[in-house]
Amino acid sequence: MTDQMNKRKFRCPLGIMVALTVAASPSLSPANPPVPESDGPRSNPFIPHAGYIRGQKQARIQRQAAPLTGAPPAGGLRGTRKLPVICVDFQNVPGPFPSEEYQEMLFGSINDRKTMTQYYRDMSNGMLNVTGKVTGWHRLPQNDSYYENGGNGVGTPFGELLQFGLEKADAELDFGEFDNDGLDGVPNSGDDDGKVDTVMFVHPELGGEFRSLTPHNIWSHSWHYSEPTYGHNGPFITKDVRRGATGNPLLGANGAPLHIVVEDYVIQPGLDEPKAGQPPTIVKIGVFCHEFGHALGLPDLYDRTPKPKADSDGIGHWCLMAAGSYGGNGQRPGTPSEMSAWCKQYLGWATIVNLEGNSVLDLEAVAERNLIYRINVPGTDNSEYYLVEYRNAAWKDPADFRINWDEHLHGSGLAIWHIDDRVGTKLPSGGNNSNWPFAGFDAGQNDSPSLPLGTSPVTWRKKHSLVSLMQADRRLDLEKRPGGGGDADDILASDSEWGDDPQFLFGSRGYSNNSTGFQITDVDLANLTCRIIVANHPIAGSPAPGGIVAPAQATAPTVASASPTGPESRLPRARFFNTAKQKVLGKINNAFSKANPNRLRTKLAGIQKTKATPVSG
């Protein structure tokens, strides 16, 4: 990357910030999975204006207040989010595929598979419906090299590209339809912030991230229109008027109508990675899903430290917001990996069960309905904790409503995540940011790998990641060997266990060496189920029939947050998918009121009935 590119310091997804190793043979496909390459930590991080953050904050407040008011916890981010997608091509490079094909690829109908719409429907438990409108191709007045400007798309020429595309789209679209960050679920209705939530651009070539193939092409990134080097004096002002709750125009201080503006944008290529001997193919959804994750407030969860100093893989292929935008094996951008447990918790899309004592659990694939278990680290005010989810590459939805986005993962087992929400509470300038994790910027929260330090005694390095995957093989490859993206030995499989580890390689202690007292043992992945024991360390009791330990005391887990909060959240599994599909189609099922409220398949020794108690999390 050029020095000029470094000065701009874009936010780019790992899946597209890659250096491809091209084999000596005529094949153009990479010899290895894409390798992360960041454009450097930002000294002046951009704070996006997308109003999703405001909605998340208010939903968080409602969830925290629920136990005090007796009201059910509010759900996570929900409703419909509509995105404008603007296709622009060059005088010398026309659009490679009709814009209608990009419409289908991103927002295809209910029967289409592996679209961005389907991905976010699955990640959100049916709570978020992502749709949009693709416009173009709009022919730019110059050749591609003019807008690349010697630096993968920089300076005033690139600013002209953005302005040209927005002006063309402004003649076709009502940008008010794309400002829907308020809480009423109605776009441009008075409680929205007057800014288009996110605009997506598509250019007709390969991305500049394929450096050995396209050293000068536009680099895929997420940034803002008012970047000073673009030559704009603020956001793009559309022709569309802001409106209040009654539909009347909102007026400014001078009495003139206010207009919808565009500030946040992302740009991606129109072509996928080339394959030797095959015609060009349309870009896949992985990059789009990753970038839209930023629009929802998610940070990059890979190590953005620029080469040659990049020292880790972040969380590799195990999450969309890291290398998972290229799939579970790094080679399937059309099937991006599931979001990690932390991302789903952050957005309010998971059922989080607090584990507080000895219990026998039956875990289900997290792809089924986002069931995740949580273990809080003592003495951290619940800001440090572990999340446990069952990632099953072989899971199939019996109702054929959901897709298993983990189908290309390295293997199946328990992913155990070490979370420290305190990472990111300091801005690079040193100022406090009390709103993390609802901060509207990406400050490199996973740039510092979580590694043990010293030998006697062993401690954690002071700087560590927001989200770390505890790796069952204890090799810490994600932290020490960037470029691999992970392997099957990272997660807890049959005949392995997790518990106290004074060497900090695969243990349940906190970053201050405080013990959680938890173990996970007797893992059994037979028949696509995972039956485990979570017990206070050391385990009390004796083996019961079948080799399962019967704990001496049992404590019911509590539900920390649940989503969705509608009646479908209480349905048994098979019924849940059918009714969820009906709800997405806009139909009401009167069977909801008769649904079985016991949707957690949790077996507790000595407990007759589990009472799910909402608590602040």
Both structure tokens of 110? 């209910």
Lowest model confidence (mean pLDDT) among 174-178, 299-303, 404-408: 299-303
Which are the contacts of 295, defined by CB distance < 8 A and separation ≥ 6? 48, 50, 52, 197, 198, 222, 264, 266
Burial class (CB in 10 A: 0-12, 13-18, 19+), 463: exposed
Q: Percentage of residues in the chain with pLDDT exceeding 70? A: 62
Output the pLDDT for position 520. Answer: 78
pLDDT in tens, 87-140: 999 999 999 999 999 999 999 975 568 999 999 999 999 999 999 999 999 999
For residues 275 and 415, state if they share a domain. Answer: no
For residues 354 and 258, state if they share a domain. Answer: no
Antiparallel, parallel or unpaired: β 413-420 and 452-453? unpaired
Output the pLDDT for position 110. Answer: 59
pLDDT in tens, 378-395: 888 888 999 999 999 999
Q: Percentage of residues in the chain with pLDDT exceeding 90? A: 36
26 domain residue, yes or no: no
User: Among 263, 295, 327, which residue terminates a domain?
Assistant: 295
- Residue 116 vs residue 603, higher pLDDT: 116
Q: What is the C-alpha separation between 197 and 261, in angstroms, rounded?
A: 10
Residue 449: φ, ψ to 5°: -65, 150
541: left (phi over 0), alpha (psi -120 to 50) or beta: left
126 domain residue, yes or no: yes
| Max Cα–Cα distance, the chain, nearest Å | 78
Q: What is the C-alpha separation between 586 and 233, in angstroms, rounded?
A: 43
Domain containing residue 221: 76-295
pLDDT in tens, 512-553: 878 777 777 777 777 655 555 655 433 332 232 232 222 323
129: left (phi over 0), alpha (psi -120 to 50) or beta: beta
Burial class (CB in 10 A: 0-12, 13-18, 19+), 158: buried
User: Among 295, 313, 329, which residue terminates a domain?
Assistant: 295
Q: How many CA atoms lie within 13 A of 127 on its CB side?
A: 23
For residues 450 and 580, state if they share a domain. Answer: yes
39 domain residue, yes or no: no
User: Among 229, 262, 295, which residue terminates a domain?
Assistant: 295
For residues 284 and 345, state if they share a domain. Answer: no
> CB of 550 within 8 A of CB of 577?
no
Average pLDDT over residues 452-479: 73
Q: Which of 257, 252, 256 is nearest to 241 (CA)?
A: 257
pLDDT in tens, 260-293: 999 989 999 999 988 888 999 999 999 899 988 8
For residues 444 and 523, state if they share a domain. Answer: yes
Q: What is the C-alpha separation between 313 and 476, in angstroms, rounded?
A: 10
Both structure tokens of 397? 């939805």
For residues 202 and 349, state if they share a domain. Answer: no
Q: How many CA atoms lie within 13 A of 284 on its CB side?
A: 20
Number of CB atoms found within 10 A of residue 15's CB: 30
Q: Which of 182, 152, 1, 9 is nearest to 81 (CA)?
A: 182
Lowest model confidence (mean pLDDT) among 38-47, 135-144, 360-369: 38-47
59 domain residue, yes or no: no
- Residue 318 vs residue 450, higher pLDDT: 318
Q: What is the C-alpha separation between 221 and 36, in angstroms, rounded?
A: 14
Q: Which of 142, 145, 137, 144 is nearest to 165 (CA)?
A: 137
For residues 290 and 370, state if they share a domain. Answer: no
Output the pLDDT for position 501. Answer: 66
Chain-centroid distance of CA 89 in Å reads 29
- Residue 32 vs residue 519, higher pLDDT: 519
Residue 88: φ, ψ to 5°: -125, 140
- Residue 256 vs residue 76, higher pLDDT: 256
For residues 251 and 134, state if they share a domain. Answer: yes
For residues 271 and 361, state if they share a domain. Answer: no
For residues 564 and 428, state if they share a domain. Answer: yes
Q: Which of 474, 423, 430 is nearest to 451 (CA)?
A: 474
For residues 377 and 281, state if they share a domain. Answer: no
Secondary structure of residue 229 in the 3-state scheme: helix
Amino acid, single-letter form, for residue 595: A
280 domain residue, yes or no: yes
Output the pLDDT for position 5. Answer: 36
224 domain residue, yes or no: yes
Output the pLDDT for position 160. Answer: 98
345 domain residue, yes or no: yes
Contacts for 7-10: CB closer than 8 Å, 24+ residues apart: 8/39, 8/154, 8/223, 8/227, 8/229, 9/39, 9/40, 9/41, 9/42, 9/43, 9/44, 10/39, 10/219, 10/221, 10/222, 10/223
307 domain residue, yes or no: no
Give the number of domains in the chain.
2
pTM: 0.76
For residues 362 and 223, state if they share a domain. Answer: no
Q: What is the C-alpha separation between 418 and 230, in angstroms, rounded?
A: 40
DSSP string, 113-166: -S-HHHHHHHHTTT-EEEEEEEEEEEE-SS-HHHHHTTTTS-HHHHHHHHHHHH
SS3 readout for 472-534: CCCCCHHHHCCCCCCCHHHCECCCCCEECCCCCCCECECCCCCECCEEEEEEECHHHCEEEEE
Output the pLDDT for position 503. Answer: 60
Q: What is the C-alpha separation between 552 and 524, in angstroms, rounded?
A: 22
> CB of 102 within 8 A of CB of 85?
yes
> CB of 204 within 8 A of CB of 143?
no
